[in-house]
Homo-oligomer: A and B are copies of this chain.
């Protein structure tokens, strides 16, 4: 059985339990959902329909791409439905011969006005659009990486770690001088090593800009890793899966305030890492870091971390908020990324990717704070 069919089997079971006859997924420019890639291997724009009797129909924008990548029971080109989502879902209903009155579920991200159009077009059916339904079930299933995914992560982490070393070398030897040098080095070297590219736009922020959580623009032709604190946040994408690491470069002489930012961030990182274990609430880890920073009169203006996978940000979130109920489990791969940002002294963030297994925790990546 293919890995994709194995994943879909779990959803067919869920559908049967919930009495849902058909579900729709959508991966389009406006609403990206790599769950379709997770369930079929198809990496581009498409709609996917699952029928409870264990059949999968893919409606791709590009049929050539589907014939190369998609592991499904049937492909019908989107053009056959005049490239209209409503016609596509009606086509799926006909194709599967869905009985009147059946429950079907559409993505929880469907905009309200479009939801009304689906309901109108499917008056003979019970159309669900909800949080806590099958789309969140897929999100939850995706948090637990299977053996194939963990192997992919070992590969892409190794490439990421090679690049971290090469980046340190290039920056120390001043071959890489600007934000652009660093970012384009990553683009080129990642592809040379078989990656699809970067998992998100590389953020390379020299000392004048490192105070921003997300530097804007992402990188420029300005100097990188000159005196002060510089942040480099990047990820490599390999067969769909992305790493996500952040290095901070501190070139001295640093002020005491800058040294303090580095030390506090490193300590927060070690505190978080020491708390990682099966069954731990991610809220608890995040709260511990927030408390640690606050006793030093500092505030971290973002979450402590997040899951990674086919998306750079996916479940579980590691955040200190009452509505966060995520608990760490074996198979999860997630970031820890404490950071502090000061509009005068600059910013500092340290981010690595952590795999939790039955036998414990493993830090997959080797990002670090590098003193120059």
Contact between B216 and A192, CB atoms less than 8 A apart: no
Which residues of chain B have C-beta atoms less than 8 A from A217's C-beta?
A: 196-197
Whether a CB of chain B sits under 8 angstroms from the CB of A184 is: yes
* Residues 66-88 of A contacting B (Cβ, < 8 Å): 69, 79, 82-83
Consensus secondary structure, chain A interface: loop
Q: Given A109-B30, A113-B108, does the pair A44, B219 have CB atoms closer than 8 Å? A: no
Q: Given A62-B214, A213-B61, does the pair A321, B82 have CB atoms closer than 8 Å? A: yes
Whether a CB of chain B sits under 8 angstroms from the CB of A313 is: yes
Give the nearest-CB partner of A237 in chain B.
B217
Minimum CB–CB distance from A87 to chain B (whole Å) comes to 11
Provide the bound-state CA to CA distance between A183 and B190, in Å: 13
Provide the bound-state CA to CA distance between A217 and B68, in Å: 13
CB-defined interface of A79-120 with B at 8 Å, one 1/0 digit per residue?
A: 100110000000000000000000000001111110100000
Contact between A343 and B221, CB atoms less than 8 A apart: no
Contact between B192 and A221, CB atoms less than 8 A apart: yes
Minimum CB–CB distance from A244 to chain B (whole Å) comes to 14
Q: Given A113-B129, A191-B220, does the pair A29, B321 have CB atoms closer than 8 Å? A: no
Contact between B219 and A191, CB atoms less than 8 A apart: yes
Which residues of chain B have C-beta atoms less than 8 A from A43's C-beta?
A: 216
CB-defined interface of A118-133 with B at 8 Å, one 1/0 digit per residue?
A: 0000000000011100
Whether a CB of chain B sits under 8 angstroms from the CB of A363 is: no
Whether a CB of chain B sits under 8 angstroms from the CB of A180 is: yes
Which residues of chain B have C-beta atoms less than 8 A from A173's C-beta?
A: none
Provide the bound-state CA to CA distance between A107 and B196, in Å: 34
- Cross-chain contact of A219 among B65, B112, B197, B220 (Cβ < 8 A): B197
Which residues of chain B have C-beta atoms less than 8 A from A321's C-beta?
A: 82-83
Q: Given A62-B212, A217-B197, does the pair A79, B180 have CB atoms closer than 8 Å? A: no
* Residues 288-330 of A contacting B (Cβ, < 8 Å): 301, 313, 321
Q: Given A184-B187, A212-B65, does the pair A129, B109 have CB atoms closer than 8 Å? A: no
Interface residues on A, range: 35 or more
Which residues of chain B have C-beta atoms less than 8 A from A115's C-beta?
A: 112
Which residues of chain B have C-beta atoms less than 8 A from A255's C-beta?
A: none
Whether a CB of chain B sits under 8 angstroms from the CB of A64 is: yes
Minimum CB–CB distance from A232 to chain B (whole Å) comes to 16
Whether a CB of chain B sits under 8 angstroms from the CB of A188 is: yes
Whether a CB of chain B sits under 8 angstroms from the CB of A361 is: no
Minimum CB–CB distance from A216 to chain B (whole Å) comes to 6
- Enumerate the 5 nearest inter-chain pairs by beta-carbon distance, A residue then B residue, closest first: A196-B217, A112-B115, A113-B131, A112-B129, A112-B112
Q: In the complex, given contacts A111-B129, A112-B115, what are 4 additional A-B residue pairs having Cβ atoms less than 8 angstroms apart?
A: A82-B321, A111-B112, A112-B129, A191-B220
Contacts A/B (CB < 8 Å), 21 sampled: A29-B313, A30-B109, A44-B214, A44-B216, A61-B213, A65-B214, A65-B216, A69-B216, A83-B321, A108-B111, A109-B111, A111-B111, A112-B115, A113-B129, A180-B187, A180-B192, A184-B187, A191-B220, A192-B221, A196-B217, A197-B201
